[in-house]
Structure 1
């Protein structure tokens, strides 16, 4: 290897004009994880409220739609330190809570509403645990059920606030959905409730 390097350096010094050309960079990126984890939401992760009549909406206050529950499962190849968070694919359309998930806008660019997610009754590797969240990238943690795009959610023992390694996690995702006050919306035509969020696994 040393001989090759020396010979190449000699060639560069002897023939500098042969390399006087434009160049570009090649970046090779990725990450090596201790084990892979896959999140799955039962039922394909779809909540369909069907048609909501304007007459059923509150005029001056937010309207709560029926609360929904889905099962979230995370399966890893082995015990893994990971966090969960969401990506709000309707970013900027949340009507009431900055940490909730937007439901899109009307044709008049009015925010339809928002949805909040929480993780309840978590069981990790057959043992009841608690969820903890961090707003500073994992520096500090506190007990919380929130699942959001504004923080990280991890799993801890039921009496602690330190993330633990988990291979199998099951928990309920509970969905709270609000529709903005009808007075704030132009509802002369049908308006879709168009929420879309992605649950993401991150490795610690």
Structure 2
């Protein structure tokens, strides 16, 4: 609002100046300028965005079945200062070429399957990402999702599909992004290790999942 007010005052003064010299100058220039900027939102992920499963003993892993690990979580927050904004998240898997198809099991799509790397060409496994306990201050938020920026929104379950899917949140019954100035929630990750028979266990095998979260203004 301050930027709009300043633009209006500048226009009034410039018009008055043009009028004062109209009798002596045959032409004059009128330039209207200004910038409307969106809210400046910052995203923060707890623990530096690192989910660490520590050391996993090779002897714990099944040779014939996939090996699900315990769910681990970290905090997610978005702060837009005092300016409410409608925004969402897109997530890109930087290890998409290494995921193991079907490793997450029932209830998950391949768009929700993120790769854990493939040292020596052997795929380590996959993991899922889920948004939980979303809120803005004292207001609880419900997840919504759309398959692309050209699609409509529908109610989600918090499971995060990779880009071009876009994820946001609503505060009421209308399935549309809520205008909020802050967001708090939990990122839950569940890793599943490949069958031991598919891994090279003659040395250490690093879990190397890497995804980027991008904040989108809507």
Aligned-residue offset at 1:158: 4.4
Instruction: Name the residue aligned to 2:96.
Output: 91
Aligned length: 174
Cα root mean square deviation, aligned: 2.0
Q: Distance in 1 between matches of 2:134 and 2:123?
A: 32
Instruction: Name the residue aligned to 2:215.
Output: 201
Instruction: Name the residue aligned to 1:39.
Output: 43
Instruction: Name the residue aligned to 1:79.
Output: 84
Are 1:65 and 2:69 matched, yes or no? yes
Aligned-residue offset at 1:173: 0.8
Secondary structure of 2:59's counterpart equals: helix
Instruction: Name the residue aligned to 1:137.
Output: 149
Contact 1:84 1:147 in 2 (8 A): no
Q: Distance in 2 between matches of 1:62 and 1:160?
A: 40
Contact 1:33 1:203 in 2 (8 A): no
1:100 is matched with which residue: 99, 108, 113?
Answer: 113
Secondary structure of 2:197's counterpart equals: helix
Secondary structure of 1:118's counterpart equals: strand
Instruction: Name the residue aligned to 2:56.
Output: 52
Q: Distance in 1 between matches of 2:62 and 2:173?
A: 41
Contact 2:112 2:159 in 1 (8 A): no
2:159 is matched with which residue: 133, 146, 160?
Answer: 146
Contact 2:115 2:125 in 1 (8 A): yes
Contact 1:101 1:114 in 2 (8 A): yes
Q: Which runs of 5+ in 1 are unaligned?
A: 4-31
Give the structure-2-normalised TM-score: 0.74
- Structure 1 residues 138 and 168, CA gap change in structure 2 (3 angstroms): farther
* Deviation per residue, 1:126-171 (Å, 9 max, x gap): 3001010111325212222022323110111243311111110001
